[in-house]
Structure 1
Amino acid sequence: MMIKIKTSKRLFFLLLPVLFLCQSAFAATPVKPTIQVGSYHCPPFVIKHDDGTYSGLSILLWERIAEQLGFQYSIKDLGLKELLQAVSTQEINIGISCLSITSERELILDFSHSFYETHLAIAVKKQGYLASVKNIATNKHLLTVLGFVFAAAAIVGAVYYLLEHKVNEKLYSKSSRRVRLIEGFILGLLFITKGPFNYFEFKTLTGRVITVILAIATTLFIASVTAVLASTFTLGLLSSDIKGPNDLANIPVGAKETSTSSEFLTNHSIVHRTYRDTNQLLQALEANDVEAIVADDAVLKYLIKKSKEKGEYEDLIVLPYQFEKQNYGFAIEDKSQYAEQLNRALLKVRKSPEWRQALHEYFAEK
């Protein structure tokens, strides 16, 4: 019996260092932190599927960051207002979606580095062809350009009339002075819109010298007028009287609640209706509850494009005006211990081929 006891003690002392080493090894193994994540549906940055799973650019970025840093996490679905509040009160550690970095939000929480840049945009519903013709005919910019063209034609026509009408029967073939004045105006109009006449069409030396000078000036003038008219007709065919954010003041406008779009409209004293999410915003525009909506350009274009692929919202368009730049970032709790690690991982993911490919897949025109 004594031998067995001595053997047991000897075995215990032999195994003791092994047990100590094992305990130290387990103690040294880092426990992966669990991050509480909040998000909301905002295609193509966060797309929540019917089965409760998520995809999108922001989700991809966060997944790769979590992999690099060894984070475990759970995602909680929240509205924009609730998400910002939850991060500011540290109920959740991070908010991921299409969150614009603003000074107002920086007062209550922190942001990661920016990972995507866009701007605010205006979406409207196209009208019919008669409305398009009306928009073009009443366009103040177009009327100003046409008035300038006719005034320039009258001046050029008058100068050539004074110089040439007595000696140039080819250009001024009628005997009536009134008709000759009309011929002079037509000459000036052709000169302005079509370009200079042949040098030898004019009999007087002064007329020929002016022709050479105007040949240079009208070439630039015609190019400028053509560009202005093309732009005006293109915008007119968009069937919208809205030429920028200042035109929103006198029409019903919608924006997402608590969004930078709503803040922009409020700061510019533009009364507007607010909606919980962008889908409700698009529905309101489609139903003519509002005449225009303001939201982030990237989000609007993606949602309208995807809707048109399904045969929905076919009359909705995003106007070609850029204003109020937006930079997206992750909302993180104030003085987060993970901020530096997160930013370093974020910058690394942004340089990866996978990220560039994802941008192409979501935003490439098809």
Structure 2
Amino acid sequence: MRAVHHPILCLFAFLACLLATSATVCAANEHTVQVGTYHCPPFVIENGTNAPSGLSIYLWQQIAAELGVNYEISHHELGELLEQVSTQKLNIGVSCISITPEREEILDFSHSFYETHLAIAVKQQGYLSSIKNIFTNTKLWLVLGIAFIAAAIVGGIYYLLEHKVNDKLYSMRSNRAQMLEGFLLGLLFITKGPFNYFEFRTLTGRVLTVFLAIFTTFFIASITAILASTFTLGLLSSDIRGPNDLANLSVGAKEKSTSSLFLTNHSIVHRSYESTNDLLEALNNNEVDAIVADDAVLKYLIKKAKEIGKYESLSVLPYQFEKQNYGLVLENDSPYREQLNRALLKVRHSPEWRQTLNQYFAEK
């Protein structure tokens, strides 16, 4: 039996299909994305009842506008945020969340939107402790030893060349005193620079003066740089030269963070704190000798605190390790990952993004 295609039935079928499609699209547009954040200045800055701000919040707002989605933001701690995204109670996590292999096993991430690294913050020591640390610093004594050896060699050469013919430079009568004069001459040569060419009587001495004039210029610059670095770091903490030096110290890190994971993986016992602000308070109150956290976050928080007279003695050491890449956290196998990444890349290449970066990270 042949089917009869009545025109009116076909029209009803078409309208029903069109209405169903429109309803689906509207439902998709009306879907509210659940966004979780946690306080992590300058990426997420929460001020009581006010809406959160910060670099990550700005990024998400631009992405949401680009995709045309509605969203609600709720506050969580880091561990809770990751757990709720992994169980799909939240659709996305927005803050300073590092992309790690462990987290990738249960979550999806967007492309990286900010690159940083882990850093160590310490409290500057008192003057007596600083002086003690400077003079017990092995690097300082090594540099001074090299300088004295170089002075002895230069002084010895000039003594052999000049002590019999140059009464002006070698005026003492005994050989021992003249050798001391030669050493002092070499020490002045190494630390102050070359003498006047005409101070020397022998041709070899004058030729040597020309060559040493070039050598000591670079030598003095190098020694000055090394000593400046040594004295500066001595005022901070002479015991810490990198993460390996943390093993015998009291160390703090934020719980469930990449800093805590790094310390655990390197068998460094440490105290866990709920927030980075708690970390800074612990360091300032001498509860710990050093703290480990993301460089960008530490520098921002310490800079802002110093502007209002807090944490004046806290400093971030100039050592970079364990690179960190921040991304937006998505539920596993998220179907919206590609759309979000395209919108994220578009925002990152905009001049407004560069202006926002300068707003939060430019040195003032």
Normalised to the residue count of structure 2, the TM-score between the two structures is 0.91
Moved over 6 A (4+): 19-22
For 2:238 and 2:162, the matched residues in 1 are separated by 47
The CA deviation at 1:107 is 1.5
Amino acid at match of 1:135: N
Bigger mean CA deviation after superposition, 347-356 or 140-149: 347-356
1:27 to 23, 26, 31: 23
Following the alignment from structure 1 to structure 2, what is the Cα–Cα distance between the partners of residues 213 and 64? 63
| Counterpart AA for 1:237 | L
Q: Tell me the distance in 2 between the aligned counterparts of 1:61 and 1:95.
A: 12
Show the counterpart of 1:205.
Answer: 203
- Tell me whether 1:218 sits opposite 2:183 in the alignment: no
Deviation at 1:46, TM superposition (A): 0.8
1:195 paired to 2:193: yes
What residue in structure 1 maps to residue 351 of structure 2?
Answer: 353
Offset of residue 320 of structure 1? 1.7
SS class of match (1:321): coil
2:303 is the alignment partner of 1:315 = no
Provide the secondary structure at the position in 2 that maps to 1:49. coil
Is 2:110–2:327's contact at 8 Å kept on the other side of the alignment? yes
> 1:311: Cα distance to partner?
2.3
On the 8 A contact 2:118/2:294 being kept in 1, the answer is yes
The structure-2 alpha-carbon separation of the partners of 1:156 and 1:240, relative to structure 1 and needing over 3 Å to count, comes to closer
Moved more, 127-136 or 239-248: 239-248
Distance, in Å, in 2 between the alignment partners of 1:52 and 1:349 is 25
Q: In the alignment, which residue of structure 2 is the partner of 1:127?
A: 125
Taking the aligned partners of 1:138 and 1:87, their CA distance within structure 2 comes to 51
CA shift for structure 1 position 87: 1.9
| Aligned-partner Cα distance in 1 for 2:23–2:242 | 62
| Helix, strand or coil at the partner of 1:124 | strand
Deviations 1:155-199 (A, max 9, x none): 111111111111111110010222111101001101111122222
Contact 1:93/1:332 (CA < 8 Å) preserved in 2?
A: yes
* Residue 324 of structure 1: how far off its partner (Å): 1.4
Report sequence identity in percent: 70
Question: Structure 2, unaligned stretches of length 5 or more?
Answer: 1-11
Indicate the residue corresponding to 2:151 in structure 1: 153
Within 1, Cα distance between the matches of 2:301 and 2:148?
Answer: 45
Structure 2 Cα separation of the partners of residues 288 and 340 of structure 1: 47
CA contact (8 A) 1:96 1:331 kept: yes
Distance in 2 between residues matched to 1:232 and 1:44, nearest whole Å: 32
Equivalence for 1:272 = 270
| 1:24 shift after superposition | 7.0
Aligned to 1:11: none
Distance 1:257 1:208 in 2: 66
Work out the CA distance in 2 between the residues paired with 1:284 and 1:321: 21
How far does residue 317 in structure 1 lie from its aligned partner after superposition?
1.4
Aligned to 1:7: none
Distance 1:28 1:288, change over 3 A: closer
Q: CA deviation at 1:256?
A: 0.5
Q: CA deviation at 1:327?
A: 0.8
Change (3 A) 1:24 1:36: closer
- Structure number with greater Rg is 1
Deviation at 1:23, TM superposition (A): 4.4
Report Cα offsets for 1:100-152 as digits up to 9, x if no partner: 11122112211100101111111111122222222222221111000000011
Structure 1: which 5+ runs fail to align?
1-15
| TM-score normalised according to structure 1 size | 0.90
CA distance in 1, matches of 2:124, 2:181: 42
Aligned residues: 353
Deviations, residues 258-317 of structure 1 (Å, cap 9, x unaligned): 111111112222111111111111111111110110000111111112222222222211
String of CA shifts for 1:1-51, please: whole Å, max 9, x gaps.
xxxxxxxxxxxxxxx99x979947843753313222221111111112211
Give the Cα separation in 2 of the matches to 1:25 and 1:337: 19
1:36–1:24 CA distance, 2 compared to 1 (3 A): closer
What's the counterpart of residue 142 of structure 1? Answer: 140
Partner of 2:48: 50
Change (3 A) 1:47 1:221: same
Instruction: State the shift of 1:348 in Å.
Output: 0.8
